[in-house]
Amino acid sequence: MTAHTLIERLAAIVGPPGLLTDPGDLEPYTVDWRGVHRGATPAVVRPANAAEVAAVVKLCAETRTPIVPQGGNTGMCGASVPREKGGEIVLSLARMNRILGVDALNNTLSVEAGCILANIQQAAREASRLFPLSLGAEGSCQIGGNLSTNAGGVNVLRYGNTRDLVLGLEVVLPDGRIWDGMRGLRKDNTGYDLKQIFIGAEGTLGVITAAVLKLFPLPRSGATAWAAVPSPEAALELLALLRSHCGDKMTAFELISRNCLDLVLRHIPGTRDPLPAPHGWYVLAELGDVREGGAIRAELEGALGAAMERGLASDAVIAENAGQSQGLWKLRETIPEAARAEPGMLYRHDIAVAVSRVPAFIAEAQAALQARFPGIDVICFGHLGDGNLHYNAFVPGRLRADAAAREANDVTQCVFDIVARHHGSFSAEHGIGQSKLLEMSRYKAGVELEMMRALKATFDPLGIMNPGKVLPDESGNGPGRTEATPALADRYR
C-alpha cells in the first residue's frame, strides 16, 4: 500500500478534522517540549472516540504501519514523539477530552484519555472531591499520557503514583480490538490485574482511551512550611517527626538544596528568599485536612517547634494564606525553568532510592562527582517523602553548544552506578522513552528484560506500537544505535 492510499484510508476513518498532513501542522507533534527529541511523520491522526482509535489501529496492523500514541507531549524522555526515520504515524488523543461521569458516592471519575489533568482536577472539585495527581505540566498534560508514564508529582507521599489512582481502563489493543475494563471496583479478584500492564508501558502495548479514576475527600484546610535543615539526614528525621505528629495529613515533603534556590532567585522574577539568612538545605512540607479551621496549622507549628528543639530545623516560615503558599511552591516548581536559564550544560537524573538511603546516596554521589569533576555544581531537589530525587549537575566549562559536552556520558554513569549500588532506579517518574534505552541494557536485570520482551511479543507481535521506546533491541542498544555512538544528548538540555 502506498503512503497516499494509507492517508486516504485514515481520512475515511477520522474525517477532515481528524487528520493533519501539512508540514506546518505536523511540527508541534514531532518535537518534544524540550526540543531535544525531533522526528518525522507522514500524518497526525486525531480520532474522536474509541471506535475510531480501534479502526485506525486495525488499519495500521493490516498495513504494518507503526504508531506513536501521543497525549499532551509533555514527557521528559521522548516517548511521545516519532523517530527521525521511523515512518510512524502519530495518534493524538487530544480530541477525546470528555469527562464521562462523576460518581461522588463511589468516589470515582470516568474520563477520556485526552482530558487535560487540570480539567480533571476541576471536575473533581466541582463534586467536592479531590483528584490528587499534581505536577508542573498539569495545565497541558493529558491523563492518557500520565497513565502511560505512571506519572508521580508532589502528592505521591499521601496518595501514591498514578497507578495507585486508577480503578479501570479502556484500551485499544495492537490488533484493533477494544478491551473494556472500565470498572469502578476496589475489589476484583477475577484473575490478572490487566490495567497495570498498560500503566507505565508508554504506549508500547496498546492505546489507553479512557479511565476510571479514584477520588478523595476534598481538603478544606491546609498548611505549608518552608524550613531550613542542617543536612539531608536532619531532613529525613524531620520527615519522620512530621509523620508521627501529623499522620496521613502530610501530602508533600520536598528536599531542596541551596544551589536550587540560588538558581530560582537569580532567574525567576518575583521570587525572594523566604528566610533572612541562607542555609545549605531546605524542606517544603504541606499538610491537608478535610476539616476547616486552623487546627492543621497548629499541628504544623507544634511539629516544627519540636524539630527546632531537637536541632532538626534552624528556621522556618509557615504560609499565612494561599498566596504565600503558592509563592513557596513557586520556588520549588520553577527550579527546572531556572536551570534552563543557565548557560552551562545541565546533566539531568531522575533517580529513586529507598527513603532511608537518600542521605547516604547524596553524600556518596557528591563526593564521587567532586573527586572526578572538581568544581561541579550539583542541583539536588525532589520528593524526599518517596525517595525520588532530581539529581542534576553543571560541570565547569561544559556548555550546551558543545557537542562533546552533550554527548558525554561520564557524569550520568557515575551517578547511575551509585544509584545501582543503593539498589535504586535510574528512572523514578519520567519513564524510559527513547532517552534511557542504554540504561535499560546496562542496569536492568536480564530476566526482567526477558519478561518485558515476552509481554511485548504477546500483546504486540507485529511491533507496531511505539517502536524504539522502553525496550532496547536484542544487542542492548536502541534501534539504529550502537554502543559506540549512543544518543546520549537526548537526555540533557
* Per-residue model confidence as pLDDT tens digits over 310-337: 999 999 999 999 999 999 999 999 999 9
The secondary structure of residue 165, as a DSSP letter, is G
Rounded to whole angstroms, how far apart are CA atoms 109 and 143? 12
For residues 430 and 350, the answer to whether their CB atoms sit within 8 Å is: yes
Rounded to whole angstroms, how far apart are CA atoms 348 and 186? 37
CA distances from 296 to 247, 284, 313, 438 (A): 11, 16, 19, 46
**Mind listing the pLDDT tens digit for each residue in 237-285?**
999 999 999 988 999 999 999 999 999 999 999 999 999 999 999 999 9
Indicate the average pLDDT of the chain. Answer: 92
**Mind listing the pLDDT tens digit for each residue in 154-171?**
899 999 999 999 999 999
The cell 528536599 sits on which residue?
255
pLDDT, position 489: 30
Show the domains of the chain with their CATH numbers.
3-92 (3.30.43.10), 99-217 (3.30.465.10), 221-337 (3.30.70.2190), 343-430 (3.30.70.2740)
Q: Is the dihedral of CA 134, 139, 143, 145 positive or negative?
A: negative
For residues 137 and 80, the answer to whether their CB atoms sit within 8 Å is: no
CA distances from 54 to 140, 146, 171, 431 (A): 25, 21, 9, 25
Residue 489 region by backbone torsions, left for phi larger than 0, else alpha for psi between -120 and 50, else beta: alpha
pLDDT, position 403: 85
Neighbours of 82 (CB within 10 A): 30
Residue 465: strand pairing partners:
67
The residue ranking higher by pLDDT, 491 or 266, is: 266
pLDDT, position 109: 98
Rounded to whole angstroms, how far apart are CA atoms 167 and 204? 21
